Structures are given as structure tokens and as C-alpha cells.
Amino acid sequence: MADDWFAALDKELEKRTEEILLDVDEQNAQKEDINKTLIQDFWRIWIRFNKEGVHFTMEPSHSAFAQFEDFPEPWKFKPKFNFSGVSTVQLIDRTQDQGRVGDSLKAWYYNTAKATHLRMVFEYCEGEHYYKYSGWKRIFTQRVLYDSTLNSLSFDKLHKILGDVVKIWFESHIRRNRENLIKHLKDTYEKGETFTQ
């Protein structure tokens, strides 16, 4: 009699395992397609800004995902790069003037009870504050550019938003006026988190 309950439990666990593995495989396939597109988009942005002498770092690093005939172009993806294993794609501005260090475009995945989401934000430093016990800290704010479940993700909408932000970011570098970028972000996109670093 004691074995009967365990046999039923074992059967239920086996069924649940198969369902979960199927769901994980489907999610990994979605993330692979999304990450491949995001990494390619972010790398193209990196290349364009680099032509103007604007210094960015990128995660994942180009040395992880790309093979180069001549750096930075032409390039192609490494055949064994694990796209589905990437949880965050980001470009971080390293320009020293106008307080730009740390300005970044970030896309990452997060889970809710119902689904996995992709969120893309622009993060920027709004200044510094002195804290009695920890010293000077930079205050960062995020503007939410895009947030969607993986199943309802629209690359057309994502690319439209990405184009809007990249154009004003690029223009702000050429004009040497970061305030245009910050004003556009504040006027156009919802405020996300604020934190110190």
C-alpha cells in the first residue's frame, strides 16, 4: 500500500519533468533568437559610435561572441557561442566628459509568476551624493524603453525604440550636449528604478 502512493507520485513527477523540460527548451530557443538579434544590434551600435571616437564596453564581450577578419569589421558570430545562456546584453558609455561614464543601454530577462520578460532600459547618472558612512555615491536612474513577455515580443517595436534612443544618444555625443539626451529620455520614457553605486 505504501508503494502505491509513491508510484503515483513518481508518475506525476515524471510527467511534470517532461512538461518543464519542453517549456525550458522552448524558452531557450526564444532566448537564442532574441539574444542573437540583440547582440548583433548592440555590436552594430558599438561599431558606429566607435567610428566617431566614442568609447563603449559591451557585455557579453565581443571576444566571447565574435570572430573577426579585421577588428571591428568584418565579423561573424562564433559557431559555438551559447546565445540562450546570455541573460543580459548591455552597452556602457566610457566617455569621460559631461558625466557620461556609466550611461548604458541594457536589456535583460526577468521572471514573473506567469512568464519570462525582456526589459530594455537606458541607465544614466544623475549626480553624486555624500553618505555619512559610505562616502560619495553616484545616483543612477533607469528609463524603461521596452518591456514584454517573450511570447509577445515585437522586434519592430523594439527596433523603433532602439533607433529613437540611439539617434539622440549619438547626436548628444556629436553636439557634446548630454542634456538633450537626458531631456528626451525623461520626456519620452517611463521612469524605472533609481539606485546608488
Question: For 43-68, what is each residue's pLDDT tens digit?
Answer: 999 999 999 999 999 999 999 999 99
Give residue 95's domain range.
2-196
Domain tally for the chain?
A: 1
Convert the pLDDT of each residue in 167-195 to its tens digit: 999 999 999 999 999 999 999 999 999 88
Q: Environment class of residue 144 by beta-carbon count within 10 Å: exposed (0-12), middle (13-18) or buried (19+)?
A: middle
Lowest mean pLDDT among 8-22, 45-59, 68-82, 116-130: 8-22
Among 81-85, 86-90, 117-121, 135-139, the range scoring the smallest mean pLDDT is 135-139
Question: How large is the C-alpha radius of gyration of the chain?
Answer: 21
In the block, which residue shows the cell 531557450? Answer: 28
More confident residue, 131 or 182: 182
Record the pTM. Answer: 0.88
Q: What mean pLDDT value characterizes the chain?
A: 91
User: For the chain, how many helices (H) and strands (E)?
Assistant: 4, 8
In whole angstroms, give the CA distance from residue 41 to residue 46.
9
- Region of 113 (left: φ > 0; alpha: ψ -120 to 50; beta: rest) is alpha
> 184: Cβ–Cβ under 8 A, 6 or more apart, which residues?
168
Task: Judge whether 142 and 126 are in contact, CB under 8 Å.
Answer: no
